[in-house]
Structure 1
Amino acid sequence: MPVINRIAGLADEMTQWRQYLHTIPELEMECYKTAAFIAERLREFGVDEVHEGIGVTGIVAIINGQGDGPTIGLRADMDALPIEEATGLDYASTHPGNMHACGHDGHTTMLLGAAKYLTETRNFSGRVALIFQPGEEGPGGAKIMVEEGFLDRFDIGEVYGIHNVPDLPEGEFHTRAGPIMAAVDTFHIYIDGVGGHGAMPEETRDPVIAACGIGQAIQTIISRNVPSLQQAVVSLTQIHTGTANNVIPAEAYLNGTIRTFDKTVQEMVHRRLDEIAQSVATGYGVTARLEIEVGYPSTVNAADQTAFAADVARELVGAENVDANTQPVAGAEDFAFMLEQRPGAYLFMGQGPSAGLHHPAYNFNDAVAPYGASFFARLVETAQPAKAAK
């Protein structure tokens, strides 16, 4: 599979960048060392502008092409996860309890490789905005950056991003128009009853039995309320109650996750959770209160930009290595906030056999970084070709 020759020549350097980033994983918005390394590399490359401190530690760097034109945005996430690394690598995390278990060190490296190539060649018109974003794993750094107005500030017209996928063949690209990743919400159900002695349940209003009933009834939301040709997930993941074998507690707590791809389905799931919690609680003589934390929205690719990105990938790796109608996945991604504001596309890129994402033995495959960097570079050169000299 071909990559751009100049980027292929950067492979060893890109590996060094990635493996250094792997040693300094940082969490959420606190990516200070990572951002400093990125900014230093960008200035070495000679990019035209480096804007730091966007969304706490985010960076937007600008590369000017030949002549006027639009600004295309390329995004990489750069935060890590609170996981103790178990790879045994000689470049393993030096920050105990933190590791790059999702490949954001690789995503950052791919964008740095594209940045170096595009700065050297400038074989495009308009501008490229390189977006290095913190906080994808939880706080929603993309949302924070969007709310700070960076898309308008830098006049970014389209946005594109890539995520590596373990066990997908090296260099394959998968994408789809429309929803490609799910919206994610979290539900909390608080049940209040009347506690008492376990030997005298008739004197109580048992929240444990109510919790079991609510948990069972929640399982019907998908099977009985979601249209059969649509997708959604409701998973009850926690039940907490009680302190001793002979005490019926006064309270119980249920918690879980909601994954949806359609706003109408999302609203229905929220409504049914409340209806079930209230009605089942009433039946058991207790009260229930539902709280829902609305998280990342569904990641929705624009049709035209997705078709274009797939064509660029086909030119790079061959049509047989591109799936432009992949199945959506129930994971969530805060790049969705950028796609709510600008047209663009999110793509999955194979990294070959690997431990799974968020696994303590995961490691990004350095061999695939040139594919991602080449894709970003070709995307820019194809979308905004340099204007012929007069």
Structure 2
Amino acid sequence: MNQLPENLNIPAPLREAAQRFAQIRQRIHARPELGADVGNTAELVAGLLKQWGYSVHTVGGHGLVGQLKVGDGTRSIGLRADMDALPMQERTGLPYASEVQGRMHACGHDGHTATLLAAAEYLASTRNFNGTLNLIFQPDEEGLAGALAMMADGLFERFPCDGIYAFHNAPGLPLGAAVVQEGPLGGSSDRVTVTFRGRGGHGAIPNLANDPTLAMSATVLALQSIVSRNVAPVDAAVISVGEMHAGTTHNIIPETAMLKLSVRATKPEVRELLERRIREVITHQAASYGVGADIEYERLVPAIQNSAHEAGIAREAVASVVGGERVLRMPPSSQMGSEDFAWMLEKMPGCYFALGNGIAGQAWVGCSLHNDGYDFNDKLIPIGAACWVALTEQCLRAS
């Protein structure tokens, strides 16, 4: 299922340009950049957009907007791609593997960028729309800060949009399949750091100490009751322990113990419930063991909330490319990953959807995101580009 499926409605110029944009994608892949520091990638993108006739503007550091106005239409849309990589070592062994130690495009942002560029070239050539097209190339999605930085620099004030759209590749979903749904998709992302403060002592005389590791251990178990007993079964939520740390050696009871959590929910009201119950559980568990607890609760990003109208537009556009039978609706609890495109969707109506990256069969295609063996499937580039073209021509119909 990793070959380009038959019966896809992909314009011939996009098929013919597919290898060229795969090479651009592989060039970006080999030279990954992290966070907001994506200057070289942004320079590459800006140069191509200018070559095709877009006016190019910097927004929020190395963020870019390529704008193309055609005709006298008053409607405008925004299509967004992310550009940053991850701080991890690549182990694919591919000819174009990362040339930078400890950096890797393990989430497919290189492919998202190349796909939007392929659509940009085609749309600039055909100009089969009437209105304003804003192509948004965003840094620092992985840090969940790039969207906010661009918005703080006036993204939507400077480049108004009637609707905004983005997609993510989905490993494990067949090439040519898609997931488009209204409402919540994925989860919010919060992180919690807890420091339990007790009184240290000798491991041989624990009665003279107040052991913070006991409170931490009991808290880990108690936290797992929140989702099962406080969250409604029809709602989705996750509380995961990511790090525990205490002590320096075998026979010393430490003064402090540290616990780090990842917390996710699909609904705002469930997110509120989780914070309240987590604080209560930690505070009371610590008190029951005679220690204190300092809680640092960081709200990182809300859950994606696709507006119904824009989700319908995206579903129709994607279906026109891959066929309606390949466009799936999946329940909100199908995955709990977070995306800082959610910040943009709080400001503007829009839709975030998924396109299949392929299933297991090649060493890298079936790998999950953020895996050192992952790679974006270049066969997805013409599919994704055709979806962007269909969506643009649908939203900005030429008279």
Per the alignment, residue 162 of structure 1 pairs with: 167
Deviations 1:320-370 (A, max 9, x none): 111134544200000001111000101100011312111111111111100
Per the alignment, residue 370 of structure 2 pairs with: 358
Cα RMSD of the aligned pairs, angstroms, is 1.1
Q: Which runs of 5+ in 1 are unaligned?
A: none
Per the alignment, residue 332 of structure 1 pairs with: 338
- In structure 1, C-alpha distance between the alignment counterparts of 2:96 and 2:194, rounded to whole Å: 43
Tell me, what secondary structure is at the counterpart of 1:130? strand
Q: Does 1:281 align with 2:286?
A: yes
Per the alignment, residue 42 of structure 2 pairs with: 35
Identity percentage over the alignment?
41
- In structure 2, C-alpha distance between the alignment counterparts of 1:171 and 1:93, rounded to whole Å: 27
Describe how 1:225-374 pairs up with structure 2 within 5 A: 225-328=230-333, 329-353=335-359, 354=365, 355-374=367-386
Q: Tell me if structure 2 keeps the 8 A contact 1:174–1:326.
A: no
Tell me, what secondary structure is at the counterpart of 1:41? helix
Q: Structure 1 runs of 4+ off > 6 angstroms?
A: none
Q: Tell me if structure 1 keeps the 8 A contact 2:266–2:332.
A: no
- In structure 2, C-alpha distance between the alignment counterparts of 1:270 and 1:308, rounded to whole Å: 35
Q: Tell me if structure 1 keeps the 8 A contact 2:236–2:332.
A: no
2:393 to 372, 381, 389: 381
Per the alignment, residue 71 of structure 2 pairs with: 66
- In structure 1, C-alpha distance between the alignment counterparts of 2:331 and 2:9, rounded to whole Å: 23
Q: Does 1:148 align with 2:146?
A: no
Q: Tell me if structure 1 keeps the 8 A contact 2:36–2:61.
A: yes
Tell me, what secondary structure is at the counterpart of 2:36? coil
Q: Tell me if structure 1 keeps the 8 A contact 2:144–2:300.
A: no
- In structure 2, C-alpha distance between the alignment counterparts of 1:301 and 1:154, rounded to whole Å: 20
| CA displacement at 1:6 relative to structure 2 | 1.7
Q: Tell me if structure 1 keeps the 8 A contact 2:165–2:352.
A: yes
Describe how 1:17-28 pairs up with structure 2 within 5 A: 17-28=24-35
Per the alignment, residue 183 of structure 1 pairs with: 188
Deviations 1:14-52 (A, max 9, x none): 1111111111100000001100000111111122x1002
TM-score, length of structure 2 as denominator length: 0.95
1:89 to 94, 110, 119: 94
- In structure 1, C-alpha distance between the alignment counterparts of 2:127 and 2:71, rounded to whole Å: 7
Per the alignment, residue 173 of structure 1 pairs with: 178
| CA displacement at 1:248 relative to structure 2 | 0.8
1:6 to 13, 22, 43: 13
Number of equivalenced pairs:
385
Deviations 1:192-213 (A, max 9, x none): 1111111111111111111111
Deviations 1:114-168 (A, max 9, x none): 1101111111111100000000011420111112221111112210001001121
Q: Which runs of 5+ in 2 are unaligned?
A: 1-7, 360-364
What amino acid is aligned across from residue 273 of structure 1 in structure 2? I
| CA displacement at 1:280 relative to structure 2 | 1.1
Deviations 1:69-125 (A, max 9, x none): 211000000100111111111111111111111110100011001110111111111
TM-score, length of structure 1 as denominator length: 0.97
| CA displacement at 1:68 relative to structure 2 | 2.2
What amino acid is aligned across from residue 41 of structure 1 in structure 2? L
